[in-house]
Structure 1
Amino acid sequence: MHRIIFLLCFIFCSSVSALDCQQIPDSDIFPGDQFWYPVNSSDYVRIPPNFNCTYVIKAPITSSQVLYGSVLLTNLLKGVNDYMIVTDSLGAKTTLKYRSDSFLNYDIFPGKQISIQVVTKSVDMYSQFLIQVSYSKVKVGSTVQMKTGGALNYVNLATLKGFDPVLQNSITVQGNEPISMSLATSRYMYPTLYLYHSYIIDGDFYNQTSVHRLIDFEQSAPFVSLNNRVTLVTFQTDAYYATAAVLNPVSEANNFEYLTSQASVDGELDKVAFNPYLKPEACQVLAVDSKQIIMNSLNFDEEITSSCVAQVVTGPPNNSSQLLLDLTTARGLMPYTFNLKYFSVIAKGCSFSFTVKSPEQ
């Protein structure tokens, strides 16, 4: 009987004490590879007391390929004082406890790494965990030159998709000066998951000045690059329509307090409001999936004076723009149909709002 108990204890204690801090060997980092932490076991692993290990998982870039890593972390912590600290590939830190989510997904952005620190205290609470890592080769898209004059520069994000047999993961846009990027999305159907797994690089994969999630710029101030090129990237496998990244030379954007963008969505009414203070404001309205924009309503918050500028102009707002409609005299014309893919609205010296939609396809 004592021999059986000893044998069971030996097997159990060996399985727990076998847990170490082994990292993924470089030889196991290649497209299509899957790796499980710890000890490459696909079963949940018991964590012994007084365990403290930081697993560092990287997605390297070489001259021949750009790698992306996907991490599935299973959190089965039981101890009140046990925890994990996850530092994602953009540097954001999250502390996980026994009441945190059990299954969490993380991107490892190409050229970066993620770290997961696993800590248990002296009391054995039978905590468990598992880290699954999958590697894929990024389909790096083409580099396009920004257009000038009256053409609006934008990327329909439905043309980018994660690991699709046809579509690319990325596109790089090259300008002659730093670039301002604003998102044109629906104000009601936020593509949260898509934008969370989509990114903008200030630069490109091989020269990353900074990397940001697109979700950070949803209904927010535009992103402004330091370089003359930016790269839009997604690892989301589900495409989302009626969403675009609109790009302007920074000198064009600097003419306004805010130069933003708004998608005109099929069958949906979206509102844009202006309240310019010192400098004029402008919004670029883009029918992402249509070729027609209907301005459905127009409302001024105050009496219109001679200092009020409220204009719809062609293209992005620059020296090539032409007047389409003076909104100070257009309230009786609503709804007004523009047979255009995009236009800009400029506001100065007065507060007003309007709604837009595109016809259902």
Structure 2
Amino acid sequence: MKTLLWFLVFVGVSNALDCTQIPAGGIVPRHNATIPAGAKEPVLIPPNFNCLYNIKVPAMVYARVVLENGLNGNNDQITVTNEQNAKTFINSRSGKYATFYVFPNTLTSFLVSTKSVNMHSSFRMVVDYYSLNNATVTYLDNPDMQYSRLYTLQAEIGWSPRTIVAKERMSISIAYSGWTPYDNLYNFFLIEGDLENPLAIYRMTQFLYQNYISKGNKVTVLGLDNTFSRSSIVFVPLSQAQQYDSYTAASGYMNLNQVDIDATVGEKKKKIVTMISMRDYVMIWKMEKTSNPDCVLKAITSPPTSESKVLLDFSVETQFPTNITRPSFCIIAENCAASIQFIVL
């Protein structure tokens, strides 16, 4: 009798795990689906199982996939491959839950595989579908600077994507908060072009510590998860950035952060750091600089032009801490190196 019961259970599980995909009619915003279909809890995986589940979404729709991990065998594994062919491996040592976001008009695959020994592994995927708002459009002049605080791009909490249209290519940088490990930019994206006609898709983690130079004059940025990022993304015309040896960005969040800027090297001996605050308030805590007689080290209004207002001249100001009460500004350095400690409040 026990043998018969086990046979019936095994047949039921095998039938549930027959690689059935979510049908096109089931991909509906504000609805969800499960894999296996109709599963209310993780389902046992038979030995020697090998199935590729594809989660695909159309344009202007994205998916959140919560993977419930019940793998037990050392060799049982779920391989997740995203839109950029990057792989994540889930096994018995991974957490019980893992969340993945599927970008609009792309596919993420989940390869579920077990070996010959039955370790009573199990899994379930819950897939929620959401529609994107239409993107807002901002035009970038020259000279100019535009920025977005990343939390204002997050679709899951109701914000809209943002499309930046320039007169030329752009230099794009991340003003990272340094609030690790909580400020994780993995589910923030930059698209060459717009959502209707994307030419390329990048995750912002790919250019966290170096500028991204756009291929054309239009990019779109958005986030898919609901984490509250304290970082920002900054856009300037490429020809404006090319007037300096480097044109980067920085930010922070309730913590002591530091900018190191060395304009004693490079062809032009001039560098720019765009500072972005969260609450229009930056405290300059401490500053150290080299004593070059021709050193220029100032905080000025952005974008940097001959008409920029000087907010703080570091060659004159010696009393620290001191405050700059602006949402954004630039630190310009010429012919000297400096380390500036600051707190963004």
* TM-score normalised by structure 1 residue count: 0.85
DSSP-derived class of the 1:256 partner: coil
Is the contact between residue 142 and residue 240 of structure 2 (CA under 8 Å) also seen in structure 1?
no
Q: CA deviation at 1:223?
A: 2.0
Q: CA deviation at 1:174?
A: 0.8
Q: CA deviation at 1:110?
A: 0.6
Is the contact between residue 183 and residue 228 of structure 2 (CA under 8 Å) also seen in structure 1?
no
CA distance in 2, matches of 1:190, 1:8: 48
| Matching of residue 298 in structure 1 with residue 287 in structure 2 | yes
CA distance in 2, matches of 1:287, 1:138: 27
Q: Which amino acid aligns with 2:292?
A: I
Aligned residues: 341
Distance 1:209-1:9 versus aligned 2 partners, 3 A rule? same
- Runs of 4+ with deviation above 6 angstroms: none
DSSP-derived class of the 1:110 partner: coil
Q: How does 1:10-29 map to 2 (within 5 A)?
A: 10-18=7-15, 19-29=17-27
**Aligned CA-pair RMSD:** 2.5
Is the contact between residue 163 and residue 169 of structure 1 (CA under 8 Å) also seen in structure 2?
no
CA distance in 2, matches of 1:252, 1:215: 24
Q: 5+ unaligned residues in a row in structure 1: which ranges?
A: none
Q: How does 1:169-208 map to 2 (within 5 A)?
A: 169-188=160-179, 191-193=182-184, 195-208=185-198
CA distance in 2, matches of 1:228, 1:201: 12
| Matching of residue 68 in structure 1 with residue 62 in structure 2 | yes
Q: Which amino acid aligns with 1:249?
A: P
Distance 1:337-1:105 versus aligned 2 partners, 3 A rule? closer
| Matching of residue 140 in structure 1 with residue 116 in structure 2 | no
Is the contact between residue 67 and residue 123 of structure 2 (CA under 8 Å) also seen in structure 1?
yes
Q: Which segment drifts farther, 339-348 or 98-107?
A: 339-348
CA distance in 1, matches of 2:243, 2:76: 53
DSSP-derived class of the 2:40 partner: coil
CA distance in 1, matches of 2:252, 2:182: 15
CA distance in 2, matches of 1:210, 1:261: 23
Q: Which segment drifts farther, 46-55 or 254-263?
A: 254-263
Q: How does 1:179-258 map to 2 (within 5 A)?
A: 179-188=170-179, 191-193=182-184, 195-218=185-208, 220-240=209-229, 242-258=230-246
DSSP-derived class of the 2:9 partner: helix
Q: 5+ unaligned residues in a row in structure 2: which ranges?
A: none
Q: CA deviation at 1:268?
A: 4.8
Is the contact between residue 202 and residue 210 of structure 1 (CA under 8 Å) also seen in structure 2?
yes
Is the contact between residue 141 and residue 168 of structure 1 (CA under 8 Å) also seen in structure 2?
no
Q: CA deviation at 1:238?
A: 4.4
Which of 265, 279, 288 pairs up with 2:278?
288
Is the contact between residue 170 and residue 233 of structure 1 (CA under 8 Å) also seen in structure 2?
yes
What per-residue deviation string (whole Å, max 9, x for no partner) do you get for residues 193-213 of structure 1?
4x2222221222122222222
What per-residue deviation string (whole Å, max 9, x for no partner) do you get for residues 72-114 of structure 1?
1122122222222110233211222222222110000111111
Q: Which amino acid aligns with 1:342?
A: S
Distance 1:131-1:321 versus aligned 2 partners, 3 A rule? same
Is the contact between residue 164 and residue 220 of structure 2 (CA under 8 Å) also seen in structure 1?
yes
DSSP-derived class of the 1:332 partner: coil
